[in-house]
Chains A and B, each alone.
Chain A
Amino acid sequence: MSYGTTEAVRGIDLEVERGEVFAFLGPNGAGKTTTVEILEGYRRRTGGEVSVLGEDPERAGREWRERIGIVLQSGRLDPYLTVRESLDLYAGYFRSPRPSEEVISLVGLEGKADERASRLSGGQQRRLDVGMALVGDPELLFLDEPTTGFDPSARRQAWDVIAGLRNLGKTVFLTTHYMDEAQRLADRVTIIAAGRIVAQGTPEDLGERDVGETTIRYLADGSEVVLQTTDPVKTLHELTSAALAKGEELEGLEVTRPSLEDVYLELTAAAEENAG
């Protein structure tokens, strides 16, 4: 999979299960959009096999497009059409659309239905964008960086919309460069960096986070003690028993696992170093 003379992505092997929210996580320029555009049928690949809903996106036709919904990374709306009109326009493209009223409440734009797109906030426009991808009632929805550039409250609202899609039984393919977004929304996460997959798993066990070493910190006589352990229950028990026996405090006691952020930064930094 390459364009121009630079190979954008290679050796990408992924499988997305029906009904799951799948996050494709990676830094800017990692090859996320290239990959998702190949899956959406916008971009031709130079090699490899791709099957989306049982068809090769390069050759898939109108029937296949009835079954997918696409939210592009940067897609503006017709500024002169209202929320309802934009949705009604797209509803006409599909054989059995979801009624626009339903879509409006799915994306939380009740009360804005007759507002022109140009008068919506950035977050509301993005939710309308998601709505336009939902109007065909697709089985599979692609969301390319749906919350990039959002303020925290707009992001929270967008997350609620996406989380709601799971309840509708939709399969969601989400690309993002925010770890918290992947952690919050996804059933499974694949991390891509420099065009290659560097880790796959659930948000909990990614990068062996669940079995990795736990860090225990506390203060003893004013200086910090740091312990790394693979058996935190035992180590903690020993520490606290000893402290209780001596009638001492374990001042500033802290038990931490590597966060998804730590794992992510470590994995992507290593991959980019290798590529560079």
Chain B
Amino acid sequence: MNGLALVGHQFRYDQKAFWRNPAAVFFTVMFPVIVFLILAVVFNGETVNVRGGVEATTYYVPAIMSLAIISATMQTLAMTLVIAREDGRLKRGRGTPMPPWVFIAGRVGNSIVVALMMLVLLAAIGGALYGVSVPWDRLPAILLTLVIGAASFCCLGIALTAAIPSQDAAAAIVNALLLPLYFLSGVFIPEDQLPSGVISFADLFPVRHFFDAFFDAYVPAGGSAVSWDNLAVVALWGLAGLLLAIKFFRWTPRSG
């Protein structure tokens, strides 16, 4: 098989393993849907005072899409790669003729496909239950934002594995990083209810910028569809993650 065919081969098996893994499916697919439904029920009928005012349900569609994309990429990669590394599965793979980049490309492809599915799923739920219209004319901007964000958060997830010593620590470290950022970035709590200091703090991190960019792409009230400045910050974080990953990613178990 040539390189691309090999990536496709790897991807097929990554997909099988992903959909059979109850923890991955729950946190990546079910959790965002549940969170969206809870927030939509609680805040239905309210208006969030951003960009001239948007309905809360409209606000939460791109918010939870951002969460789902980060979960499908950074969170899924950090957790599954650490588990595979500590299992010795990465080391076993390195003992075969498969080029290492093929393995990473298969996993990244898996994450991006899941992220795209979550976009479709949340758009459908938001549209069907709360009449949040799908901005078809903005589709190119939405996909561009998704791809830049997904690629960047993939890099960050791969880089993060270097800081995770064991399988048990994986979920704790990933959630300790991401959950506070979701709260501080206005993903869970509408941003008009957060003190401005909190938003400025969240602005130091990529979650807030990605949410901002995704909001601009998805909500017509958001002005220009492509938020280049926010995407540039996200991409810079991704680049930093890529460099760290190249330097510190390891294929052999930390333990033993």
Are A and B associated in one complex?
yes
Which A residues contact B (CB, under 8 angstroms)? 40-42, 62-63, 65-66, 68, 70, 72, 74-78, 80-81, 85, 88-90, 92-95, 116, 132, 136
| Shortest distance between the CB of A140 and any CB in chain B (Å) | 12
A88 to B175, CA, bound (A): 34
Tell me whether B96 is interfacial, beta carbon within 8 Å.
Answer: yes
Query: Please, which residues of chain A bring their CB within 8 A of the CB of B16?
Result: 80-81, 85
| Shortest distance between the CB of A272 and any CB in chain B (Å) | 22
Tell me whether B92 is interfacial, beta carbon within 8 Å.
Answer: yes
- Indicate if the CB atoms of A65 and B20 lie closer than 8 Å: no
Interface of A is mostly: loop
> What are 24 A-B pairs with beta-carbon distances under 8 A?
A42-B94, A42-B95, A62-B99, A65-B96, A66-B97, A70-B95, A72-B91, A72-B95, A74-B88, A74-B256, A75-B87, A75-B89, A75-B91, A75-B92, A76-B87, A76-B89, A77-B89, A78-B89, A80-B17, A80-B20, A81-B13, A81-B17, A93-B96, A136-B97
CB < 8 Å A-B pair total: 66
Which B residues contact A (CB, under 8 angstroms)? 1, 6, 9-10, 13, 16-17, 20-21, 84, 87-89, 91-99, 252, 256
A116 to B96, CA, bound (A): 22
Query: Please, which residues of chain B bring their CB within 8 A of the CB of A66?
Result: 97
Q: A75-B87, A76-B87, A95-B97 are contacts. A70–B13 as well, Cβ < 8 Å?
A: no
Select from chain A the residue with minimum beta-carbon distance to B93: A93
Query: Please, which residues of chain A bring their CB within 8 A of the CB of B91?
Result: 42, 72, 75
Query: Please, which residues of chain A bring their CB within 8 A of the CB of B252?
Result: 42
A42 to B9, CA, bound (A): 25
> Counting chain A CB atoms within 10 Å of each CB, which of B91, B94, B95 scores highest?
B95
Query: Please, which residues of chain A bring their CB within 8 A of the CB of B97?
Result: 62-63, 65-66, 93-95, 136
Select from chain A the residue with minimum beta-carbon distance to B84: A78
